[in-house]
């Protein structure tokens, strides 16, 4: 798939992120928009997940450790044809399958229920180890927030992944520098990620998380690494694509009103 096609998918995903959160009048747009390009490459270039194999074990798996970015995951699953696009407007509604945080028991394509920060990477480690024991050569991917990496469990999982030489595991750190309380450097900085993950024995790749060539090349490189897991440290912009949301912590977890939704959709149409 060429860059133009990936950009079009990403634009559609971002538009549906805004529509979901606006319609629900709640949700987390900032981190969802920032992670969109990573998810686009994963689902349309890297992972072998399809609507046909989504309920089988015979495919790659993805853990959204930063579960509050569920609008990005749901919009990606809809763009991929795994869930109906019209279902996106049920986001956070009563009895919906599209809960505020992903529920693996409700929705096909959700491989782990997440939302309690810090736990997703541990789940991904377990999946990678299970695949090895079951002689299943499919890969496990996990997206971890940089603010989330303040949780100690992330580093316990990092130790375990190296100890078990899980070269079928690839973690992506979504390093946008912001969390709900402000800049991570001011709250309690988990950086530098490259040096820390290398100290834990991981292969580390640093990229621009909005550059499709860099994202794809990093995932390709990860597949060649043997004997240890890979961590991709992706520099991203929280709120990417929406002028008034970019690099603004206040848009971590609130919905735009009707007027601001109109501005956001116009911004995204022009991407």
pLDDT tens-place string over residues 142-172? 999 999 999 999 999 999 999 999 999 999 9
Both tokens assigned to 23? 């319609």
pLDDT recorded at residue 150: 98
Closest C-alpha among 175, 195, 193, 171 to residue 183: 175
Confidence of residue 218 (pLDDT cuts 50, 70, 90): very high
3-state secondary structure of 105: coil
The residue count of the chain comes to 271
pLDDT tens-place string over residues 63-82? 999 999 999 999 999 999 99
Report CA 117 to chain centroid distance, whole Å: 13
Residue 92 and residue 24 in contact, taking contact as beta carbons nearer than 8 Å: yes
Question: Bridge partners of 183?
Answer: 178
pLDDT recorded at residue 208: 98
* Whole-angstrom distance, CA of residue 44 vs CA of residue 223: 16
Confidence of residue 219 (pLDDT cuts 50, 70, 90): very high
3-state secondary structure of 123: helix
* Whole-angstrom distance, CA of residue 179 vs CA of residue 147: 6
Q: What is the mean pLDDT of the chain?
A: 98
Helices (H), 170-210: 184-187, 193-199
* Whole-angstrom distance, CA of residue 121 vs CA of residue 130: 14
Residue 223 and residue 139 in contact, taking contact as beta carbons nearer than 8 Å: yes
Q: What pTM did the predictor assign?
A: 0.98
The correct CATH number of 3-269 out of 2.40.30.10, 3.40.50.1370, 3.30.540.10, 3.40.50.970 is 3.40.50.970
pLDDT recorded at residue 29: 98
pLDDT recorded at residue 196: 98
pLDDT tens-place string over residues 9-47? 999 999 999 999 999 999 999 999 999 999 999 999 999
Both tokens assigned to 92? 């956070």
* Whole-angstrom distance, CA of residue 155 vs CA of residue 213: 29
Confidence of residue 176 (pLDDT cuts 50, 70, 90): very high
pLDDT tens-place string over residues 88-119? 999 999 999 999 999 999 999 999 999 999 99
Residue 201 and residue 155 in contact, taking contact as beta carbons nearer than 8 Å: no
Average pLDDT over residues 44-58: 97
- Residue 150 DSSP code: G
Q: What is the DSSP string of 130-142?
A: HHHHTT----EEE
Residue 37 and residue 174 in contact, taking contact as beta carbons nearer than 8 Å: no
pLDDT recorded at residue 7: 98
* Whole-angstrom distance, CA of residue 98 vs CA of residue 100: 7
CA angle 227, 231, 237 (to 5 degrees): 170
Both tokens assigned to 67? 């579960």
Q: Residue 211 — φ and ψ, nearest 5°?
A: -100, 110
């Amino acid at each position: 798939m060429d860059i133009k096609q990936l950009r079009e998918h990403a634009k559609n995903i971002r538009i549906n992120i805004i529509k979901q959160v606006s319609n629900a009048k709640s949700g987390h747009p900032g981190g969802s928009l920032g992670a969109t390009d990573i998810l686009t490459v994963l689902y349309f270039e890297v992972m072998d997940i399809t609507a046909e194999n989504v309920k089988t074990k015979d495919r790659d798996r993805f853990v959204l450790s930063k579960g509050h970015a569920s609008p990005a995951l749901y919009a990606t699953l809809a763009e991929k044809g795994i869930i109906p696009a019209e279902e996106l407007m049920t986001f956070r509604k009563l009895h919906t399958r599209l809960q505020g945080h992903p529920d693996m028991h409700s929705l096909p394509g959700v491989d782990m229920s997440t939302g309690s920060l810090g736990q997703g990477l541990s789940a991904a480690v377990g999946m990678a180890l299970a695949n090895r024991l079951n002689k299943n050569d499919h890969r496990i991917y996990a997206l971890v927030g940089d603010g989330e990496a303040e949780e100690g469990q992330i580093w316990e999982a990092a130790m375990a992944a190296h100890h078990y030489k899980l070269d079928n595991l690839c973690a992506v750190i979504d390093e946008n520098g912001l969390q709900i309380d402000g800049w991570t450097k001011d709250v309690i900085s988990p950086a530098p990620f490259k040096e820390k993950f290398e100290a834990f024995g991981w292969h580390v790749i640093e990229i621009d998380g909005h550059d499709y060539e860099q994202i794809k090349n990093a995932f390709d490189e990860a597949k060649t690494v043997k004997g240890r897991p890979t961590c991709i440290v992706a520099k991203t912009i929280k709120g990417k694509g929406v002028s008034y949301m970019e690099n603004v912590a206040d848009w971590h977890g609130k919905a735009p009103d009707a007027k601001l939704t109109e501005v956001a959709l116009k911004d995204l149409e022009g991407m």
